[in-house]
Amino acid sequence: MANATPSPSDQAVARINVGMVGHSFMGAAHSQAWRSAPRFFDLPLVPVMRVLGGRDAARTAAAAERLGWEDHVTDWRELVRREDVDLVDICTPGDSHAEIAIAALEAGKHVLCEKPLANSVAEAEEMAKAAAAAAERGVRAMVGFTYRRVPAIALARQLVADGRLGTIRHVRAQYLQDWIADPEAPLSWRLQRERAGSGSLGDIGAHIIDLTQHITGDTIAEVSGHLETFVKERPLATEHAGLSGTASTERGEVTVDDAALFLARFSSGAAGVFEATRFATGRKNAIRIEVNGSLGSLAFDFEDMNVLHFFDATLPDEEAGFRRILVTEATHPWVAAWWPPGHGLGYEHGFTHQAVDLVTAIANGVEPTPTFADGLQIQRVLDAVETSATNRTWQEIPA
């Protein structure tokens, strides 16, 4: 098997043993993060990739070898019980998040759980309750909204916190993809409500809910939503690796939304417009955030992820205009550990920053963010959007 043991120079540093459940798309991204974090950052705890969990023995063994895990198991319960596992990383579909996370927390393991936190508010409430109880014993839990860890997003949050935008008035957010725009794309688990919980709303809409709240430091208080399913049935997938799989001649029902649109009112009174769809032909991973305030505006697009656009309305008219900031300086968050200025970061770096922040929080005995309580709040927003779309009414978000 591949050996993830730290180098000799790391031997005097305390270690944290990681077990991960799931090894497809997210599992590969998380594995790369655990490999790279201790090699680029000076960490108080060195992650050791102890064991990978999956359902199929042969596929899990192959994934462990490819991704750098020392061992593998086919029962996540065995992984959770192992004494050589300190932290459980959950990269499975949403229908198993609650069961695995709660069991791991009760076993005294720190937990990193992919977003959205759960498939329902009730599950998220139980997870947040378990995390709160575990925190009293020094056990930490974090939900994986990795786009928070993009340096340009961190700079945007800092500009707002420093008052550079003044009073926030308007927020626009889009997450646009096209990977299921083809009506013959096979029916994957992401298109089945019992596995995924919801469609574009929870899968990608959850990200822009988190990002706008994170950047503004404000919370969504009320929503009015609309959901649409454009393709009602698809060819069944003969395998479930990756995002889709191989199509068969049989067809199955799509039970989630293909697009989610909603208006929002923030607690401060700011207005919000949100759009999440996997049918935006030509858009691959366009996360677009714009925040307008009384003193300025900022704009971000993940397809140009190393850049933040900032408009300073306090400047004289003859100097007015959006300024393009290349967020690759050593003074920008996380960037100093990587490359010289101008050598941009990519999608995978957010996962590494997430691993760095999590193990640092654990070592320092503080709560990592976003917490399971944060994940629960986002779950309540998702639920309110669904309820609003059904009832055609504005829905308040419970405190």
pLDDT of residue 117: 97
More confident of the two residues 246 and 126: 126
Average pLDDT over residues 138-151: 98
pLDDT of residue 215: 98
Average pLDDT over residues 16-44: 97
CB atoms within 10 A of CB 217: 11
Average pLDDT over residues 95-104: 97
Distance from C-alpha of 133 to C-alpha of 131, rounded to nearest angstrom: 5
Average pLDDT over residues 121-133: 98
Model confidence pLDDT, tens digit, residues 313-364: 999 999 999 999 999 999 999 999 999 999 999 999 999 999 999 999 999 9
Residue range 8-146 in CATH 3.40.50.720: yes
| Residue of 49, 44, 69 whose CA lies nearest to 59 | 69
What is the residue-averaged pLDDT of the chain? 94
Model confidence pLDDT, tens digit, residues 294-306: 999 999 999 999 9
pLDDT of residue 249: 77
Q: Which residues, other chains included, contact 285 with Cβ-Cβ below 8 Å and sequence gap of 6+? A: 177, 302, 303, 347
Q: Which residues, other chains included, contact 187 with Cβ-Cβ below 8 Å and sequence gap of 6+? A: 233, 234, 235, 236, 237, 251, 252, 254
Cα dihedral 178→183→189→195 (10° resolution): 100
Q: Which helix (H) or strand (E) holds 373?
A: helix 372-391
When pLDDT is cut at 50, 70 and 90, the band that residue 240 belongs to is: very low
DSSP 341: T
pLDDT of residue 11: 54
Distance from C-alpha of 340 to C-alpha of 335, rounded to nearest angstrom: 9
When pLDDT is cut at 50, 70 and 90, the band that residue 189 belongs to is: confident
Inter-residue contact 134 to 338 (CB < 8 Å): no
Q: Which residues, other chains included, contact 26 with Cβ-Cβ below 8 Å and sequence gap of 6+? A: 91, 114
| Residue of 16, 105, 30, 10 whose CA lies nearest to 364 | 16
Architecture of domain 151-304+306-345: 2-Layer Sandwich (3.30)
The tokens for 8 are 């000799």
| Residue of 140, 147, 71 whose CA lies nearest to 115 | 147
Distance from C-alpha of 84 to C-alpha of 180, rounded to nearest angstrom: 40
Q: In terms of C-beta density within 10 A (0-12 exposed, 13-18 middle, 19 or more buried), how is residue 324 classed?
A: exposed
- Which of helix, strand or coil describes residue 213? helix
The tokens for 122 are 């009730």
Provide the total of helices (H) and of strands (E) in the chain, helices listed first.
Answer: 11, 17
Task: Report whether pLDDT(7) > 90.
Answer: no
The tokens for 191 are 């298109």
Q: Where are the domains of the chain?
A: 8-146, 151-304+306-345
Percent of the chain predicted with pLDDT > 90 = 90
Distance from C-alpha of 344 to C-alpha of 2, rounded to nearest angstrom: 29
Cα angle 126, 132, 397 (rounded to 5 degrees) comes to 60
Average pLDDT over residues 211-239: 94
DSSP 187: B
When pLDDT is cut at 50, 70 and 90, the band that residue 197 belongs to is: confident
Inter-residue contact 290 to 225 (CB < 8 Å): no
The b-or-e profile of 93-119 (16+ CB within 10 A means b, else e) is: bbbbbbbbbbbbbebebbbbbbbbbbb
Percent of the chain predicted with pLDDT > 70 = 94
Q: What are the φ/ψ torsions at residue 158 (nearest 5 degrees)?
A: -65, -40
Distance from C-alpha of 259 to C-alpha of 108, rounded to nearest angstrom: 39
